[in-house]
Structure 1
Amino acid sequence: MLTKNTQVNRDQLEMITLDQLVPENHLVRKIEAAIDFSFIYKLVENMYSSERGRPSIDPVVLIKMAFIQYTFGIRSMRKTIEEIETNLAYRWFLGFGFHDKVPHFSTFGKNYERRFKDTDLFQKIFYRILKEASDKKLISAEHVFIDSTHVKASANKRK
């Protein structure tokens, strides 16, 4: 028998936290539990001024945005921001609430150009994360996987 949903509860009001909406087994919860990203503050403190300029976007948020992009295979920062705006698990991982404004997609690029370019910041972060994962026995050199997938670039859409 064909049944139509006659109850649409889109305007339903609930008292619920963002934490309750992110499944306990979601990958971002596992990453958050395994990696303490606060070490990033020490790595970037000399890249920011404490006396002038307007308040910055939290550098840990910027790095976590890139982490989301690469971990979940999102191809651009613009698309990553779109995903963060709608994906509650990503918002939770970044520490954003329901109504917090997500940074504009160009924010990461501008910070990269002005602060992070020509530094070894990302290399230091990568090695630190690997060290933490290794110390917690989350990775092993017993098996090595190499991904040689050929991904066709869509850089020139006019051809």
Structure 2
Amino acid sequence: MNDDRLKDEFILSTLNDLVPEDHLVRKIAKWVDFSFIYDLTKPFYSDKGRPAIDPVVLFKIPIIKSLFGISSIRRTCEEINVNVAYRWFINLPFSEKIPDHSTYSKNYTQRFYQTDIYHQIFTNVLNQIIQHNLIDFTNINIDSTHIKASANKKKFIEEIVTKEKSVFEDEMLDFINDHRQDDDDKSLPPSAKVETYSVFKVRS
């Protein structure tokens, strides 16, 4: 039935009702406590001025990017805007606007650029995921080399975090340099490239 009236249908439902019970974001939300982010990021925020983006929201965005293999922060923000499960995960109702790429990038670069905050947060999250047995270690590849189930989990975490941090910081650096060029400022040098390829499976 091709009827445009269906697109204007009013649905009485909650955001929680629309996310399947077996969706990965529910498993992550159940077992991973993100409240530690507030303590880690507190020194970077001021009580003055306009309220900033919630730091948990800010850092859940790259976590979604990493978990679901989305190509960029820009694309991730676009996906969150239309994906009910992602919106539920970062705890933003339909009545609130998702940070766009430029807003997100400015918040990150003005507070956390050239700090190890991303590394700390991603390591903490991965540790919690592993602690609750949410990763299947029977099939792990690091640097394109298959590693057996008895793999050193500490090495695995460091490899994954190093890879994700490198990709993430390269993208933020590109954003900074785009704006520096607009202001006729010299571009910042690129960060060292880390050629690390990792694959792991989240338990179903």
Instruction: Tell me the TM-score range normalised by the shorter chain.
Output: 0.7 to 0.9
Q: Which residue of 1 aligns with 2:104?
A: 108
Aligned to 2:12: 15
TM-score (norm 1): 0.81
Distance 2:87 2:8 in 1: 21
Say yes or no: does 1:79 pair with 2:67. no
Q: Which has more helix, going by share of residues?
A: 2
| In structure 2, distance between residues paired with 1:34 and 1:75 | 26
Rounded to whole Å, the distance in 1 between the matches of 2:64 and 2:143 is 19
What are the superposed Cα offsets for residues 52-88 of structure 1, whole Å, 9 maximum, x if unpaired?
A: 1210000000100111112112112221111111111
Let me know the Cα RMSD of the aligned residues: 2.3
Inter-CA distance 39–12: structure 2 relative to 1 (3 Å threshold): same
Question: Residue in 2 aligned with 1:25?
Answer: 22
2:89 aligned partner, one-letter code = F
Q: Does 1:136 align with 2:132?
A: yes
1:117 equivalent among 88, 113, 118? 113
Alignment partner, residue 176 of structure 2: none
Q: By how many angstroms is 1:9 displaced?
A: 2.0
1:96 has 2:102 as partner: no
Could you say which residue in structure 1 is the equivalent of 2:43? 46
Which structure 1 segments of 5+ residues have no match?
A: 151-159
What amino acid does structure 2 have at the position aligned with 1:121? I
In structure 2, the residue matched to 1:37 is: 34
Identity of aligned residues (%): 48
Total equivalences in the alignment? 146
Q: Deviations over 1:112-150 (max 9, x none)?
A: 2211111111111122113222332334766542263x9
Q: Give the one of 52, 56, 64 matched to 1:56.
A: 52
Counterpart pick for 1:126 among 122, 126, 133: 122
How far off is 1:99 after superposition? 2.2
Which shows bigger deviation, 73-82 or 131-140?
131-140
Could you list the structure 1 runs, at least 4 aligned residues long, displaced by more than 6 angstroms after superposition.
none
Higher strand share: 2
How many Å separate the matches in 2 of 1:83 and 1:108? 14
Question: Equivalents in 1 of 2:103, 2:7: separation in Å?
Answer: 32
Partner Cα separation in structure 1 for residue 78 and residue 136 of structure 2: 34
Q: If the length of structure 2 is used for normalisation, what is the TM-score?
A: 0.64
